[in-house]
Amino acid sequence: EMAEKAGFPHFMLKEIYEQPGAIRDAIHGNREVIKSVAEEIAKYEKVIFVAMGTSYHAALAGKYLLQRLAKKAPLVEEASEFRYEFEDLIDENTLVIAITQSGETADTLAAMKLAKRKGAKVLAIVNVVGSMATRIADLTLYTHAGPEIGVAATKTYTTQLTVLTMLAIELARILGTADEKYLEELERTLERAPELVEQVLGYNSSLRELAETLKDRKDFFYIGRGISVPTALEGALKLKEISYIHAEGISAGELKHGPLALLEDGVPVIAINPSGRVFEKMVSNMEEARARGAMIIALSDRKELERVSDVLIEMPPVDELLTPIIYVVPLQLLAYHLAVLRGNDPDKPRNLAKSVTVE
């Protein structure tokens, strides 16, 4: 097992570090096929994502990507809800995009089967080659992340995001919904994602130090807006899964509608705030939280956020649509260090399984 971990103390850390290569493989592995898949699905008006867990967060990011680039507003449903609610809401004009690392999650497979039965077209985005999901789907795109052993998904998430970004770009091109120059610029930025992730992996030791100061905290909040909402949810999920600390990921607009009541001195609020459409709005949310005594840990490419935060994790500047891939990495590392510092085995969190194949 030591050999398989390639010198890393845990599979999870190894897999976090494998992300630059995995993203590169996801790009190269899909370059030839993405266009024909996008062409097949371009005509569907109604698009519904189904997934669970981390894959569900990728689906949420996929929704923002399709909204911004392809001017489509898809639904995103947990497969466990979809399968009992959507029977009468889907037909031959529906495209269902199932996202699943393992290709074996019971609820996701059931959702796909329902979609097929109702005549919908099913595209699966899958990591495990030849898994059940690939056999049910009409079309499959692979994430090419390689085997993931740690129960908490890491490289399979960033590669799902990579494939979704490629798909959204290609759809926008086919539908003519975005400027070709901009799409090419996004493609070039995506090519650089492995480098940017590599750069962020360089924060590992400072994130370990940060984790030291946070390890006895009982509640964490992760906030974001727009395309950073899924990042906030995923950051909170990573923390819950392996450190067993209570965490909530929320869209910052909801702060005033409840969560603010929970903020008191020293409660960590992780604010994901890259440059973009909602940057200033998020600054106000950060100020609101800070005024209640929260400890603000900001992830941003904007140095001026030092003014409204206790800790600023400076991120490389990148188009807002590419930030999910880059910004989740420090959150994975933070959760990992908190788990280890609290004496947990991050590879095998209590009560959780790598794939939930029973209901």
- The whole-angstrom separation of Cα 340 and Cα 358 is 29
The residue (of 102 and 285) whose beta carbon lies closer to ligand G6P is: 102
Site string for ligand G6P, 2-41 (x = CB under 6 A): ----------------------------------------
- The whole-angstrom separation of Cα 282 and Cα 17 is 30
Of 52-71, binders to ligand G6P (CB under 6 A) are: 52-55
Name the E strands within the chain. Answer: 46-51, 75-78, 94-100, 121-126, 139-142, 219-224, 246-251, 268-272, 295-300, 311-314
Residue 171 phi, psi dihedral angles, 5° rounding? -65, -45
The residue (of 233 and 282) whose beta carbon lies closer to ligand G6P is: 233
With CB under 6 A as the rule, give the number of residues binding ligand G6P. 16
* Closest residue by Cα to residue 41 from 76, 82, 70: 70
Q: How far is CA 109 from the centre of its chain?
A: 20
Q: At closest approach, how far in Å is the CB of 102 from ligand G6P?
A: 3
Q: How far is CA 343 from CA 237, 244, 337, in A?
A: 18, 11, 10
Q: Does 285 bind ligand G6P (CB under 6 A)?
A: no
Q: Does 309 bind ligand G6P (CB under 6 A)?
A: no
Q: At closest approach, how far in Å is the CB of 11 from ligand G6P?
A: 13
- The whole-angstrom separation of Cα 98 and Cα 158 is 16
204-208 contacts, C-beta under 8 A, 24 or more apart: 204/333, 207/313, 207/330, 207/333, 207/334, 207/337, 208/333, 208/337
Q: Which stretch binds ligand G6P (CB under 6 A): 30-38, 46-54, 288-296, 337-345?
A: 46-54
Q: Among residues 35, 46, 281, 354, which is the contact residue for ligand G6P, using CB under 6 A?
A: 354
Q: At closest approach, how far in Å is the CB of 96 from ligand G6P?
A: 14
Written as six digits, the tokens of 289 are 């939280």
End-to-end CA separation in angstroms for the chain: 30
Q: At closest approach, how far in Å is the CB of 355 from ligand G6P?
A: 5
The residue (of 51 and 286) whose beta carbon lies closer to ligand G6P is: 51
Of 126-165, binders to ligand G6P (CB under 6 A) are: 151-153
Q: At closest approach, how far in Å is the CB of 196 from ligand G6P?
A: 23
Q: Which bin fits 252, alpha (ψ -120 to 50), beta or left (φ > 0)?
A: alpha
Q: At closest approach, how far in Å is the CB of 151 from ligand G6P?
A: 5
The residue (of 148 and 301) whose beta carbon lies closer to ligand G6P is: 148
Q: At closest approach, how far in Å is the CB of 150 from ligand G6P?
A: 9
The residue (of 154 and 300) whose beta carbon lies closer to ligand G6P is: 154
Tell me the catalytic residues: 354
Helix (H, G, I), strand (E, B) or coil at 92: coil
**Cα dihedral 328, 333, 337, 340 sign:** positive
The residue (of 291 and 352) whose beta carbon lies closer to ligand G6P is: 352
- The whole-angstrom separation of Cα 315 and Cα 105 is 34
Site string for ligand G6P, 92-131 (x = CB under 6 A): --------xxx--x--x-----------------------
Binding site for ligand G6P (CB under 6 A): 52-55, 100-102, 105, 108, 151-153, 352, 354-356
